[in-house]
A and B are shown apart, each in its own frame.
Chain A
């Protein structure tokens, strides 16, 4: 499952009536039960993050004690050093690979997605609707369906245990095109394109100078969602990156978990490191990410 969403059809909002808002406000007052539910929801959402820090900052003995520890200890630096030095997991290599793979896919998705999205939203060509339908259908097909031939193909290309195997097939997905198409349709006025045409712009120049700047907000959201999704990819890397010496960071975590002796404080230090980049992204751009998820649900 992806972190990104299609646009489900929803009914458009009726125009709000000003005089009704006062009464409506009372109607939407939060009850104590509402508050209780929300606080509980927030607690359950955040507790595993806190718990991750607690275990990652304890010795393994303290992590496996009864009752379980509830407060962070002072061993965080030590555990992180140990997990980074772990020769079986190759966490440092995994982090670098994940940055490389996710970064490449993100840039390619935003570029190709906006280009194709522009074509589908604003250009005329034969077979457009049929092609768009194929793109939509491609989003519904799980990777498992073709996993075996894809694996054989990677072996033939000699890409097994290398980063191209987890990068190249995902450089542009249907979702990116579809999202950019939806946005381009309403964000780029036809008059603007027309004017550029009259000024003698080629289609490429129209894209580069007129459309791309207008698509920037959507491109940012698409980039964030794509980076998060790719960073967290597990199934396909698990299939093609069987050799633990050249992993993505998620596969490093898998190696930590398969170790003969389960060192929980080290595993948790690993999960902390693997989550930190996306945590930083979320702190910086959380509003845009949430906006992207919610807008994806409304616009249709």
Chain B
């Protein structure tokens, strides 16, 4: 793997091919070999220390205080913030329910549709490149753009979806007022942006599955559906786990789409009764509207624990499910 530098570039005796090294002091070469790698990785660790590690440690500390820009003094309150958050904060739990609801509602169809699309793209097709480009296009849009476009598609009065519903004889839906309807609308925004991306990842993994397996299965009379569930899905297991974890980390941080789903100011409250307020929206609400910084620290920590927990559960679940097949 890595090169044994001391063996290939000894300070003395110098190898005959060395043309320039005689001008360099051998101690400088030694220093270069020993310490320059640290110099090369230093920029990351400097930024990481200042802008990631330090804020994380500080979050833990701040969560144990009642710090607020409105208070002149800061006092240590122990675990009070966590106790209040977990036992006495219905709005937080409402945000947790919303976040998980939208996470499930978006992730399950997203990965299923991506698998189906990838399976279709894995066939022999003309215009492969066109299809790949077209389904990958949505990733160039920002979440803000997606939210604004879909906000109009889901508009109550002149929206495209309500026009379609009307065309097939159904009643229009007030997509923002109803909890489940708003979850559905926001989930479609997430899925529109991410299905194609996940499909490409699945496609790449599918292309590395040996075609012999499909042939053998076909000889045994397995249908395409059977081949898909018995060969493709189990073979994709590591990739499915990977996309599931990435979707979990992203999905539980859901923010921009629900924020911009409300036009006008006050987007952080996530609808008139907080029907689509997510945990991240609540975090900023506590931090910047109520100025309870200590409490916001507790919200951030609990959010992180939830993400870590869900990633682990999904990992175990995905491993179980695909090994049963």
A and B found bound together: yes
Q: Which residues of A contact B (CB under 8 A)?
A: 1-3, 5-6, 8-14, 16-17, 20-21, 23-25, 27-31, 34, 37-38, 41-42, 44-46, 48-49, 51-52, 55, 63-68, 112, 115-116, 118-125, 128, 131, 134-135, 138, 140-142, 144-153, 168-169, 171-172, 174, 177, 185, 190, 193-194, 197-204, 207, 228, 231-235, 238-239, 250, 253-254, 257-260, 262, 264, 267-268, 271, 274-275, 278-279, 281-282, 286-287, 289-290, 293-298
Residues from chain B with a CB closer than 8 A to the CB of A207 are 40
Decide: A24 and B148 in contact? CB cutoff 8 A. Answer: no
A198/B204 in contact, CB under 8 A: no
Contacts of A296 in B (CB 8 A): 201
User: Could you tell me if B21 and A169 are in contact, using CB atoms closer than 8 angstroms?
Assistant: no
A290 close to B160 (CB less than 8 A) = no
CB distance from A123 to the nearest CB of B (A): 4
| Cross-chain contact B62 with A149 (CB below 8 angstroms) | yes
The secondary-structure label for the interface of chain A is helix
The complex places the Cα of A44 from the Cα of B296 at a distance, in Å, of 39
Report the Cα distance A147→B122, complex, angstroms: 42
Within 138-153 of B, Cβ neighbours of A (below 8 Å) are at 138-146, 148-153
Give the interface segment out of B31-39, B72-80, B90-98, B177-185. B31-39
- The answer to whether B121 and A20 touch across the interface, beta carbons within 8 angstroms, is no
Interface residues of B in 204-255 (CB under 8 A from A): 204-205, 207-212, 214-215, 218, 224, 235-236, 238-239, 241-243, 246-247, 249-251, 253, 255
> What is the bound-complex CA distance between A8 and B236, given in angstroms?
10
Q: How far is the CA of A59 from the CA of B136 in the complex (A)?
A: 30
The CA-CA distance from A267 to B59 in the complex, in Å, is 37
Which chain B residue has the least Cβ–Cβ distance from A118? B40
The minimal Cβ–Cβ distance linking A135 to chain B, given in whole angstroms, is: 7
Given known A-B contacts A37-B117, A144-B253, A200 and B51 have beta carbons under 8 A apart: no
The distance in angstroms between the C-alpha atoms of A52 and B43, with both chains bound, is: 41
State in angstroms the CA–CA spacing of A52 and B211 once bound together: 42
- The residue that B56 contacts in the complex, of A5, A141, A199, with Cβ under 8 A, is A141
Which of A29, A119, A149, A279 lies in contact with B40, CB distance below 8 A? A119
Known contacts being A1-B253, A48-B192, A279-B140, is A37 close to B297, with CB within 8 Å? no
Give the chain B neighbours of A116 by CB distance below 8 A: 40-41, 43-44
A250→B149 contact, CB < 8 A: no
Q: Which residues of B contact A49 (CB under 8 A)?
A: 137
Question: Given the interface contacts A145-B59, A148-B62, A297-B239, does A250 sit within 8 Å of B142 by beta carbon?
Answer: yes
